Copies of this chain bind each other. A is one copy, B any other.
Amino acid sequence: MMKDTLSLDDVLNKISEDGLRITLPRKGILEILFESDEYLSADEIYSRVHKRYPGVGLATVYRTLILLAEIGVLTKFEFGEGKARYEIAESTTGENHHHVLVCTSCFKVIKYSDFTSDERDCMKRNEQHLEKTHGFSINRHVVQFYGVCRDCQRS
């Protein structure tokens, strides 16, 4: 039985197990991602990593993000801004549900976890139903509510 949340060491182990190399850019990028509790874009990650480890280049950030998403330790999101954002996956195997509130005016993203247990049950039932009826193997799901936040409503 796997832990609920991934640690930096879990990820480094996973990288090794997959026959990939643990390098400074990879560690740096993971540090930044683990330190942040927000969805980060590639250039945000780049500027933070590059400040700490000046050798690291933008192309490596992109390549690393793709690779980490492929091995399941990162999740990629898009919120209508025209660029992707990333976050450490909750786990490589278990639940990966991402429920957010997005402001279409300022692109603030609020993750909410105060959903009722029936939302969870409902999504679970649905996932099983869809896997069966459509022959999909489902890995994760995303629930996004789009609207205008309190601050933007005032202006």
Q: Are A134 and B119 in contact (CB under 8 A)?
A: no
Q: Are A146 and B135 in contact (CB under 8 A)?
A: no
Q: Are B146 and A134 in contact (CB under 8 A)?
A: no
Q: How far is the CA of A125 from the CA of B134 in the complex (A)?
A: 27
Per DSSP, chain A at the interface is mixed
A142 is an interface residue with CB less than 8 A from chain B: yes
Q: How far is the CA of A134 from the CA of B137 in the complex (A)?
A: 34
A sample of 11 more A-B contacts (CB under 8 A), given A78-B79, A141-B146, is A101-B138, A114-B133, A115-B126, A119-B122, A126-B145, A134-B150, A136-B147, A137-B153, A139-B147, A141-B143, A142-B142
Which residue of chain B has its CB nearest to the CB of A127? Answer: B145
CB distance from A146 to the nearest CB of B (A): 5
Q: Are B136 and A145 in contact (CB under 8 A)?
A: yes
Q: How far is the CA of A138 from the CA of B101 in the complex (A)?
A: 9
Residues of B within 8 A of A148 (CB): 136-137, 139
Q: How far is the CA of A78 from the CA of B84 in the complex (A)?
A: 10
A119-134, CB < 8 A from B: 119, 122-123, 125-127, 129-131, 133-134
A118 is an interface residue with CB less than 8 A from chain B: yes
A103 is an interface residue with CB less than 8 A from chain B: yes
Per-residue contact bits, chain A 77-109, to B (CB 8 Å; 1 contact, 0 not): 011101010000000000000000101100000
A76 is an interface residue with CB less than 8 A from chain B: yes
Residues of B within 8 A of A76 (CB): 80
